Amino acid sequence: MIRDFSGLEQVSCNYPLPEVKKYSEAAQLLLSQNGLQDKKLIAIAPGARWKTKQWPPEFFAAAAAEIAERRPEYEFILLGSPAEKELCGRVKEAAQTVRITDLSGQTSPGGLVEIIRHSELLICNDSGPMHIGAAAGTPVIALFGPTDPALTGPYGPQCRVIQPDLDCLGCLSKNCASVRCHSSVEPRRLAENAFQLLARGDGSK
């Protein structure tokens, strides 16, 4: 559409979020208060506005465990709104021995941007944080089921979408009796994508 209106043959799909000093400082303070200022971080944002877009807490916990086993130098943080604090708590509880810090409900929108920018990788559903990660230049792995990544997916060369192979994909349903898409993706598949993105970015931050 932009090409049609502008007459340009090539239009970049990168729309970066500039760093804002006050939010960057707030993010650094929050990380410091939690002993994370010098750590290599993987952020997990398990929330989504629709329940059908929200993979189970146990899925994120299992994927984190797979990643931690092979890449123990990384620590995990949980991100979300105050309303998602219970959900993040369930991820942390299910993660057991994985080093994971729950920062849900502790950031402003601007602070959330800078925490995500500071992270080496963001793992999430189809959600607002997904787009923040893409715009902040952080590698993103996003899970898609009832929505279509061609319409609402993350833009950027470091973004990956994971979908199950089902005939009901893109149903746009906010209610589902089975939520087959959630049970049709193995945590190991997400972990393998994480290893590839982390290897690509090793030493870049």
CATH classification of the domain holding 28? 3.40.50.2000
The answer as to whether 9 is a domain residue is: no
Domain count along the chain: 1
The answer as to whether 152 is a domain residue is: yes
User: CB of 57 within 8 A of CB of 143?
Assistant: no
The answer as to whether 1 is a domain residue is: no
What does the alpha-carbon distance between residue 122 and residue 183 come to, in Å, rounded to a whole number? 21
- Residues in contact with 64: Cβ distance below 8 Å, sequence separation at least 6, in sequence order: 42, 44, 76, 91, 95, 98, 100
The answer as to whether 111 is a domain residue is: yes
178 or 92, greater pLDDT: 92
The answer as to whether 13 is a domain residue is: no
Structural domain span for residue 90:
20-200
The answer as to whether 68 is a domain residue is: yes
Encode pLDDT of 94-124 as tens digits: 998 899 999 999 999 999 999 999 999 999 9
The answer on pLDDT for 194 being more than 60 is yes
Per-range mean pLDDT, top range of 79-88, 178-187, 196-205: 79-88
Confidence of residue 205 (pLDDT cuts 50, 70, 90): low
Structure pTM? 0.90
Q: 89 to each of 46, 77, 156, 195, how far by Cα in Å?
A: 10, 11, 30, 25
The answer as to whether 29 is a domain residue is: yes
DSSP helix/strand/coil, 202: coil
The answer as to whether 7 is a domain residue is: no
Confidence of residue 11 (pLDDT cuts 50, 70, 90): low
What does the alpha-carbon distance between residue 170 and residue 167 come to, in Å, rounded to a whole number? 9
